[in-house]
Structure 1
Amino acid sequence: MPYSLSELTIYPIKSIQGISLQSSEVDFSGLLGDRRYMLVNQNNQFISGREHPNITLITARSLGNNQWLLSHPKMANKVVLHADTFPAEFLSVQVWDDVLQGQRTQNDIDTWLSEIAAEPVKLIYFGTTSQRYTSRRPETPVAFADGYPFLLTTQASLDDLNKTATRTIEMAQFRPNLVIEGNQAFEEDRWKRIKIGEVEFENVKPCVRCIFTTLNPKTAERIGKGEPLKTLGKFRLLGKEGVTFGVNMIALNKGRISTGDTVEILEYHEAETYLDRR
Structure 2
Amino acid sequence: MALSQLFVHPLKSCRGNAPHQAEVTPQGLRDDRVWLASRADGQFISARSHPRLVQVGVTRQDDGRWCFTAPGMPPLLTSPADYRQRVPATVWKSAFSALHGDAAADAWLSHYLGEPLRLLWLGESTRVQKTTADTLSFADGYPYLLLSEASLADLNDRLDSPVTMRHFRPNLVVDDTFAFEEDEWQRFRIGAVEFEVVSRCTRCVLTTVDPDSAQPDPQRQPLATLLGYRRLEEGVCFGVNVIARNSGTLQLGDAVEVLDSALAFD
Amino acid at match of 2:43: Q
In 1: Cα distance, 2:92 partner to 2:240 partner? 19
Q: Deviations over 1:196-227 (max 9, x none)?
A: 11210000000000000000000000123111
Alpha-carbon distance, 1:270 to partner:
6.1
Alpha-carbon distance, 1:105 to partner:
3.5
Asked if 1:269 corresponds to 2:262, the answer is yes
Match of 1:183 among 143, 153, 177: 177
Aligned length: 264
In 2: Cα distance, 1:104 partner to 1:270 partner? 47
Amino acid at match of 2:98: G
* Aligned 8 A contact 2:58 2:69 in 1: yes
Match of 2:216 among 222, 225, 246: 222
Asked if 1:211 corresponds to 2:208, the answer is no
Alpha-carbon distance, 1:62 to partner:
2.5
Match of 1:21 among 19, 22, 35: 19
Alpha-carbon distance, 1:134 to partner:
2.5
Runs of 5+ unmatched residues, structure 1: 272-278
* Aligned 8 A contact 1:140 1:250 in 2: no
Amino acid at match of 1:257: L
The aligned counterpart of 2:128 is 133
In 1: Cα distance, 2:262 partner to 2:27 partner? 24
TM-score, length basis structure 2: 0.96
The aligned counterpart of 1:7 is 5
Alignment of 1:218-257 (within 5 A): 218-239=212-233, 241-257=234-250
SS at match of 2:81: helix
SS at match of 1:219: coil
Amino acid at match of 2:93: D
In 2: Cα distance, 1:118 partner to 1:190 partner? 43
Alpha-carbon distance, 1:140 to partner:
3.5
Q: Alignment identity in percent?
A: 38
In 1: Cα distance, 2:15 partner to 2:172 partner? 15
* Aligned 8 A contact 2:26 2:247 in 1: yes
The aligned counterpart of 2:51 is 53
In 2: Cα distance, 1:104 partner to 1:42 partner? 10
Alpha-carbon distance, 1:61 to partner:
2.4
Match of 1:116 among 112, 116, 126: 112
Runs of 5+ unmatched residues, structure 2: none
The aligned counterpart of 2:160 is 166
The aligned counterpart of 1:39 is 37
In 1: Cα distance, 2:210 partner to 2:65 partner? 28
* Aligned 8 A contact 1:142 1:148 in 2: yes
* Aligned 8 A contact 1:166 1:227 in 2: no
4+ long deviations beyond 6 Å: none
* Aligned 8 A contact 1:150 1:177 in 2: yes
Amino acid at match of 1:243: V
Amino acid at match of 2:128: Y
Q: CA RMSD in A?
A: 1.4
In 2: Cα distance, 1:251 partner to 1:105 partner? 31
In 1: Cα distance, 2:7 partner to 2:223 partner? 23
* Aligned 8 A contact 1:26 1:32 in 2: yes
In 2: Cα distance, 1:187 partner to 1:55 partner? 31
The aligned counterpart of 1:95 is 91
Amino acid at match of 1:131: T
Amino acid at match of 2:250: I
* Aligned 8 A contact 1:193 1:202 in 2: yes
SS at match of 2:142: coil
Alpha-carbon distance, 1:244 to partner:
0.5
SS at match of 1:20: coil
Asked if 1:152 corresponds to 2:124, the answer is no
